[in-house]
Each structure stands twice: as structure tokens, then as C-alpha cells.
């Protein structure tokens, strides 16, 4: 029987208990002074910058808050303005709860999806890193802008500008009952009896100089009489995302489908719920936004993979993360500077007016 020599111990079986080879000083970064000194310099510069801004820029101070008066626009703190922007385009529960939760989970899952150790701890070290960064940021930035512009009917304004050859094309205001009846008569159309009664003074509620009632008014006819080319009425449902809900003649039964008899929560000992589903609202507020938020990143990943832009998991993660940051920045900027009275899309200043 042989015994092990204590002066020459055998190599440990597990690699986990092997001693780490010592590295040269040039290969290491120490907390002090390498890290703390840089952080100290940054803190000093940041403090000096804040002091300069405090002296040169007046603070945004308005009157004391009045609980009886709600300012218009009423906005959240800047770090929540991206979520407030989402509230304008989808269901509140989806924009305020589900989307942030899923986004945080997705960000936390990136290290588990991209588990390669190659280039670990290095910024943009892969050969296609910068290309994927720029592609993701470009698609996220301009894709979000296009969706916001669409939901603000900017494509309608562009169409009317081109069709009328004017940068400030505006549809003529609704006419009075007298003006509209004269326009109908001059074009050879029959003036309705109700409108004729208003013009002749036979209607006690509406005067001839009052705005023509909507039941007699056709905006496309009035626009044509004034030489203005407007967005086609047949495509009214494409003016905004909400137009799909309001511009399509949905059957009445689709607006209130009772599901209380299907989801019988009382069978499980819970209170019975009265659940009525509005199909047009469901499509506009939930199905389309979810499809866009999930489908567009997937489409970007497929196209980038087919074109050879993104070949590895890290390439895809860099592209998707860059797109996410671009979307976050766009939503914050739009919500801060371009949402005015009534949260309409227009240039707006956050500074106090004199």
C-alpha cells in the first residue's frame, strides 16, 4: 500500500477549489484609486454644472397648487411621461401596468438569453455590435414617431396639404343653414324640406343664420363647393387608431357581448361578475397595440437575421435593447415637449410663461 507524499499534494479533482493564478498589476483595476477617484471627479463636475444651471436658468415655479383647478395639460413627472404617452394610444391597464411589468421582465431576462462568455464585460465588442446598435435605434426611433404621427392624424394633414397645394390647408368651417341651402340650389340639388323650413323661418329652434344641422350637412359636398380636397370619407376609419372603432359601422351586438354567463366565477365561490366585452374597443385598445409591441420587434429580428445583420444572440440583444432605449427616449421627449392643451400633439414649452 502506498501513501501520498504530503509535500507533493495531488491536484484537486474539482476546478472550483483550484487556486486562481495571480495577475500582474497592469491587468487589475482597484477600487482605490482607479474607480473612486474617477467617481469623485464626476461628482465634482456634476455639482459645478448644477450650480451653473441654478444661477443661469430660472426654476419652473408656478402659483401655489389649487386643488379646485386642474392645469391643462396635466402631466406626470418626466420619468413617467413615457407611460402617460402610452395611455393616449392603448388601454390604461395595458399602458400603466402590463407593459412596464413585461418590459422589466424582458430586460432582466437578457443575461439568461445571451449567456455567452465571449467579450463579457466589454461594451460593443462583437464585430457587428455597432451596426446592430444603429439599426435598432433607427428602427425604434422612427418607427415610434411614425406610429405617434399616425395616431395624431398627421398623415391626413399631409394628404390635404399635397392635394390642395398649401402648407396650411384647412377645411372651410361649417356653413349656416342659409349658405348651405343656397349652395345646394346652385348645384342643382334638392333642398330638404326641413332645411327649407329653417331658411324660410318656419323653425322656431334654428335660425337661418345658425350653423346648418348635422342631419342636412355633408362635409364632402361643402368642401367640393369651396374647392377643398379633404381626406376621403370612405377612408374615415384610417384617420386615427380610434377611427377603427368609430369610423366603421360595427353591428350593435359587437359593442356589448355579455360574457358573464360564460365566465361563471360564482361556481368557484367568488362573486358573480358582469363582464360585457366591447369588440371594437378591444381591438383598438388592446389587440392592435399588443400586436405592434410584440410583432414589430419579432419582425425586426427576422429581417435582421435574414439580411445577416444579426447572427448571434448577442447581436439580437444589442439590437432589441437599442430599440427599447430609442422608444423610451422618443416617448419621453414627445410627452414632455410636444403635448400641449388637451394633450394634443403640438410644440409645447415646459417653462413658466412670463
Angle in degrees, CA 347, 351, 354, rounded to 5: 110
CA distances from 242 to 16, 131, 142, 255 (A): 60, 36, 21, 14
Contact between 331 and 144 under an 8 Å Cβ cutoff? The reply is: yes
Q: How many CB atoms lie within 10 A of CB 330?
A: 20
Burial class (CB in 10 A: 0-12, 13-18, 19+), 267: exposed
pLDDT at res. 103: 93
Give pairs for 251-257: CB < 8 Å, separation 24+. 254/278, 254/279, 254/280, 255/279, 255/280, 255/281
According to DSSP, residue 88 is labeled: T
Q: Which of 299, 296, 260, 301 is nearest to 277 (CA)?
A: 260
Query: Reduced to 3 DSSP states, what percent helix, strand and coil does the chain have, rounded to the nearest 5?
Result: 55, 0, 40
Q: Which value, in Å, is the radius of gyration of the alpha carbons in the chain?
A: 32
Residue spans of the domains in the chain: they are 31-61, 71-171+230-354, 173-227
The three three-digit cell numbers of residue 52, written as one number: 451653473
pLDDT at res. 354: 45
| 0.85 exceeded by pTM | no
For every residue of 91-149, which 3-state class applies, written as one string?
A: CHHHHHHHHHHHHHHHHHHHHHHCCCCCCCCCCCCCCCHHHHHHHHHHHHHHHHHHHHH
pLDDT at res. 23: 55
Query: Which residue numbers in the chain have pLDDT < 50?
Result: 1, 353-354
Q: Which of 120, 141, 142 is nearest to 313 (CA)?
A: 120
DSSP reduced 3-state for 332:
helix
pLDDT at res. 298: 95
CA distances from 60 to 54, 63, 73, 348, 351 (A): 11, 10, 15, 14, 6
Dihedrals phi, psi of 280, to nearest 5 degrees: -60, -45
- 223-275 pLDDT, tens digit per residue, is 888 888 888 888 888 999 999 998 888 998 888 888 767 777 667 777 777 77
Amino acid at each position: 500500500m502506498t501513501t501520498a507524499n504530503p509535500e507533493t499534494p495531488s491536484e484537486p479533482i474539482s476546478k472550483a477549489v483550484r487556486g486562481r493564478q495571480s495577475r500582474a498589476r497592469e491587468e487589475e483595476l482597484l477600487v482605490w484609486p482607479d474607480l473612486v477617484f474617477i467617481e469623485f471627479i464626476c461628482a465634482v463636475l456634476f455639482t459645478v454644472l448644477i450650480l451653473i444651471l441654478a444661477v443661469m436658468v430660472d426654476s419652473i415655479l408656478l402659483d401655489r397648487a389649487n386643488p379646485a383647478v386642474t392645469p391643462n395639460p396635466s402631466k406626470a413627472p418626466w420619468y413617467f411621461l413615457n407611460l402617460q404617452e402610452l395611455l393616449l394610444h392603448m388601454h390604461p391597464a395595458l399602458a400603466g401596468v402590463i407593459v412596464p411589468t413585461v418590459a422589466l421582465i424582458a430586460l432582466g431576462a437578457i443575461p439568461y438569453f445571451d449567456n455567452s462568455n465571449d467579450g463579457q464585460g466589454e461594451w460593443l465588442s462583437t464585430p457587428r455590435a455597432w451596426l446592430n446598435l444603429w439599426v435598432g435605434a433607427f428602427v425604434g426611433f422612427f418607427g415610434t414617431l411614425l406610429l405617434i404621427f399616425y395616431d395624431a392624424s398627421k398623415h391626413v394633414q399631409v394628404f390635404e396639404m399635397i392635394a390642395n397645394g398649401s402648407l396650411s390647408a384647412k377645411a372651410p368651417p361649417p356653413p349656416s343653414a342659409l349658405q348651405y341651402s343656397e349652395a345646394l340650389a346652385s348645384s342643382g340639388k334638392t333642398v330638404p324640406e326641413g332645411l327649407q323650413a329653417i331658411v324660410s323661418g318656419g323653425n322656431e329652434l334654428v335660425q337661418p343664420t345658425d350653423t346648418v344641422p348635422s342631419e342636412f350637412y355633408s362635409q364632402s359636398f361643402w368642401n367640393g363647393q369651396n374647392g377643398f380636397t379633404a381626406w376621403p370619407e370612405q377612408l374615415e376609419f384610417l384617420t386615427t387608431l380610434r377611427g377603427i372603432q368609430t369610423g366603421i359601422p360595427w353591428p350593435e351586438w359587437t359593442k356589448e357581448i355579455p360574457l358573464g354567463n360564460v365566465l361563471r366565477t360564482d361556481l368557484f365561490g367568488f362573486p358573480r361578475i358582469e363582464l360585457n366585452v366591447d369588440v371594437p374597443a378591444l381591438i383598438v385598445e388592446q389587440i392592435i397595440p399588443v400586436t405592434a409591441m410584440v410583432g414589430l420587434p419579432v419582425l425586426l429580428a427576422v429581417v435582421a437575421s435574414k439580411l445577416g445583420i444579426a447572427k448571434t444572440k448577442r447581436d439580437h440583444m444589442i439590437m432589441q435593447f437599442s430599440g427599447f432605449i430609442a422608444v423610451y427616449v422618443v416617448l419621453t421627449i414627445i410627452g414632455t415637449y410636444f403635448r400641449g392643451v388637451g394633450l394634443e400633439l403640438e410644440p409645447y414649452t415646459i417653462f413658466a410663461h412670463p
